[in-house]
Amino acid sequence: MKFLDLFAGAGGLSEGFVMAGFSPAAHIEMDKAACYTLKTRAAYHWLKEQGRLDIYHDYLHGRIDRNSFYAKIPQDVLESVMNYQMSKDNLEEIFDKIDGRLGDNRINLIIGGPPCQAYSLAGRSRDANNMIGDERNYLYKIYAEFLRRYKPKYFLFENVLGLLSAKEPDGTRHFDAMCRTFKECGYSVETKIFLASDYGVLQSRRRLILIGKLGDDHGFYPLVQRHPTEQDGICVSEIFNDLPPLHANEGTPLPTKTRHYEGKYLYDAGIKEKDEEEVTLHYARYVNDHDKDIYRRVVEAWNRNQTRLKYTDLPKEMLTHKNTTSFLDRFNVVADNLSYAQTVVAHLSKDGHFFIHPDIKQNRSITPREAARLQTFPDNFHFETSTGKPAFGPIFRQIGNAVPVRLAYSLAKAINECFVHPDSYQRDFDIYHEKKVKGNKEEAQTELHF
């Protein structure tokens, strides 16, 4: 089944759908670095189908450059990635390119979510106008134009929870206006909130997932199977156990051999494959001596009595910021004895203070590969920059902005069932509602996440 990936980012959402058997017709993304990441991933999938992954490994090891690597891939594969900042001015051009790729095929599904800064609570708190009037608030209207054009049976729209409270200048909610727009396009709309750690992700991350179905319907939201990491007794240490230890400013973006791994989580989550023992981008950023001292204190406080050290808990001579209340939680350890870590965010592109490695001997922030694992990206997923040279900023930004792949995969499997077995899906949903009516709420919620 063909899908369109709008506002694609680095492809966390689409990777989950590819894993579930969907085929991307096109990815549309405005960030140049993310587009290179999408192209490299499209090349990986094509090479894997052809049994020619040796070419991919040659590229990762630096034996061929990016241009030479792309030259070995069919142009049709690479051209599935379209670098556009979508607006009304270029929609027809984008449509023409997509139509040329589709031929006689049709789009079954559209996925994606506009940049979340205009909806996020953090973004609004930093803006004097509370992001009111920001053009990014209205990108859902661009999304709606794709629904009008291609009329997929389903669409998935993801975003931050702040979308539920973001307001128009007249005080009405953007969310309500958005749902009205989608209904005008001919879709019924249902929404749920998902916690990533309920779906095999070792991270506390809440996401709003809106699903639309063509036609007038209700009670159609897919039954998404939960896999809570806490329930399985899995800890964040699984992310780090097989990776070579590093100090700050050590490591390499080139492939690094991993250590022996005896666990199951990395395999079950689709992060690690049995025959792959290398990872890229396991290299740590520089940390000055002052911050290293703070890192040690933060990890010591956690190891000693499981407490999060606040900025004001540091000795006065170490406080370099005048407005200390704004920096209370600036430094934080990724505690490896918990069932999930704090939310991975794009701010990692600026510094790693909120993501300190739990091993006090390593005394550093987490590497791009460790952050990618927290987002459940496969180890063979490589992140690019616009220049082709490794850089922490664009790579961490792509990772932090992504939808966790495992959450995307769970959603994709559920939506796939709606396509493949619509009748049995309806029976399952009727059973759910019957239990709910009888008051068996706890059992019902294990089947459908509300």
- The residues that are catalytic are 116
Q: Which residues contact 366 (CB under 8 A, 6 or more apart)?
A: 284, 334, 348, 352, 355, 356, 357, 374
**213 φ/ψ angles, rounded to the nearest 5 degrees:** -125, 135
Provide CB contacts within 8 A for 394, sequence distance 6+.
Answer: 31, 33, 349, 385, 386
**Rounded Cα–Cα distance for residues 397 and 395 (Å):** 5
Is the Cβ–Cβ distance between 300 and 324 less than 8 Å?
no
Residues 6+ apart with CB under 8 A from 232: none
DSSP structure string for 18-58: HHTT-EEEEEEES-HHHHHHHHHHHHHHHHHHHT-HHHHHH
Q: Is 389 left (phi over 0), alpha (psi -120 to 50) or beta?
A: beta
Reference 202, options 183, 230, 182; nearest CA is 230
**Gap between the Cα atoms of 87 and 188, Å rounded:** 25
Structure tokens belonging to residue 116: 């979340």
Rounded to 10°, the helix 53-60/32-50 angle is 140
Work out the number of other CB atoms within 10 angstroms of the CB of residue 283: 18
DSSP 148-195: HHH--SEEEEEE-GGGGT-B-TTS-BHHHHHHHHHHHTTEEEEEEEEE
Q: Give the chain's length.
A: 450
Residue 313 dihedral angles phi and psi, to the nearest 5°: -80, -15
Give the other-Cβ count within 10 Å of 318's Cβ: 13
Which residues make Cβ contacts (< 8 Å) with residue 42, sequence separation at least 6? 24, 27, 73, 77, 78, 80, 81
Contacts of residue 220, defined as CB under 8 A and 6 or more positions apart, other chains included, come to 188, 190, 211, 213, 418, 429
